């Protein structure tokens, strides 16, 4: 990282911590141990990046409280992570963050993040379209190079679901629940979509990379088809809409905390966090798989995050794939 980039990041972090208040150039320079000219140059660069920083002679610089710019520097200034999100690329428009991650960025380090203002070809589970216009949500993908066996990759999905619920609670003031396997719901309305994909090494058959794509609805999407409107929700339906950079940074921070449990061999602790947020245990559900659809009762969760169900004939089994709908 060059000197200008380092100063820019430190200036933005200081402005973020004092968001809405003014910091003089002299105070910033003294606190950061740099020249006032370096601070001025960093401010100019941040403004060019799209951040709404105003300056008043004699009073200093201020990052506006209502600034909702989405920049890599803005997200990174709010992170509390060691690895996840420490390298970020933010683009105005993209087909799909998952697709482009696989096409262009698999050589980036573990924890790299690709985010976009909008997706023109967003994808969900089971081949569904994830409509993602600008201004209605946040869309980003995390790249992992896991030192994990193939049987453990589902834990990344559990970690993402836990992270989204925690981040929404932190930034929007309400706590949603999880519907197995990775849907985050509030009052039965789906707030997000998560798509985890594995990149398999051809010769060895091992997982070389995992990509975890996350989209969260901030506001109702005018492009939702009618069948989606019946089940979809947005953060604005239930609380204040957080700044996008703050929401993404919170998800990444909580994801690192959750995923690190798996890296440390503490999968049981992650499953416990996931289980306590599930909304389907003890309820009647409909199980949907590529081959069939049938009624069952959700009776629990096993140690690997598989859903335990009881069918009408009394047989109990564990679901590792497919999805469910909750019978109201």
The answer to whether 96 is annotated as binding is yes
Do 118 and 133 touch, CB atoms closer than 8 A?
Answer: yes
Helix, strand or coil, per DSSP, at residue 278: strand
The answer to whether 97 is annotated as binding is yes
The answer to whether 47 is annotated as binding is no
- Closest by CA to 25, choosing from 16, 13, 17, 37, is 37
Do 184 and 207 touch, CB atoms closer than 8 A?
Answer: no
The answer to whether 190 is annotated as binding is yes
What count of other Cβ atoms lies within 10 Å of the Cβ of residue 30?
12
The answer to whether 310 is annotated as binding is no
The answer to whether 123 is annotated as binding is yes
What count of other Cβ atoms lies within 10 Å of the Cβ of residue 39?
26
SS (H, E, C) 79-140: CCCCCCCCCEEEEEEECCHHHHHHHHCCCCCCCCEEEEEEECCCECHHHCECCECCCCEEEE
Binding site as annotated, residues for biotin:
96-98, 119, 123-125, 190
Binding site as annotated, residues:
96-98, 119, 123-125, 190
């Amino acid at each position: 990282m060059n000197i200008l980039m380092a100063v820019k990041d430190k200036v933005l972090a200081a402005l973020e911590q004092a968001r809405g208040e003014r910091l003089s150039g002299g105070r910033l320079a003294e606190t950061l141990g740099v020249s006032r000219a370096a601070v001025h140059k960093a401010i100019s660069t941040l403004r060019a990046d799209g951040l709404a920083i105003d300056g008043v002679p004699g009073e200093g610089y201020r990052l506006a409280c209502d600034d909702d710019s989405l920049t890599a520097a803005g997200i990174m200034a709010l992170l509390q992570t060691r690895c996840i999100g420490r390298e970020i690329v933010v683009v105005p428009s993209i087909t799909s963050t998952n697709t482009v991650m696989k096409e262009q960025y698999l050589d980036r380090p573990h924890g790299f993040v690709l985010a976009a203002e909008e997706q023109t070809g967003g994808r969900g589970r089971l081949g569904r379209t994830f409509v993602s216009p600008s201004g209605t949500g946040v869309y980003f993908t995390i790249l992992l190079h896991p030192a994990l066996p193939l049987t453990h990759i589902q834990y990344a999905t559990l970690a993402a679901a836990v992270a989204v619920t925690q981040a929404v609670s932190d930034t929007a003031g309400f706590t949603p629940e999880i519907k197995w396997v990775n849907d985050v719901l509030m009052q039965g309305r789906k707030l997000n979509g998560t798509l985890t994909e594995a990149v398999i090494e051809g010769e060895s058959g091992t997982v070389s990379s995992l990509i975890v794509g996350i989209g969260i609805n901030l506001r109702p999407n005018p492009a939702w088809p009618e069948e989606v409107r019946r089940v979809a929700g947005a953060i604005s339906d239930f609380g204040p809409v957080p700044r996008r950079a703050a929401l993404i940074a919170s998800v990444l921070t909580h994801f690192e905390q959750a995923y690190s449990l798996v890296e440390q061999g503490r999968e049981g602790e992650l499953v416990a966090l996931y289980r306590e947020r599930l909304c389907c245990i003890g309820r009647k559900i409909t199980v949907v798989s590529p081959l069939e659809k049938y009624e069952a009762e959700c009776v629990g969760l096993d140690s690997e995050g598989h859903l335990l169900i009881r069918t009408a004939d009394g047989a109990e089994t564990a679901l590792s794939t497919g999805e469910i709908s909750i019978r109201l």
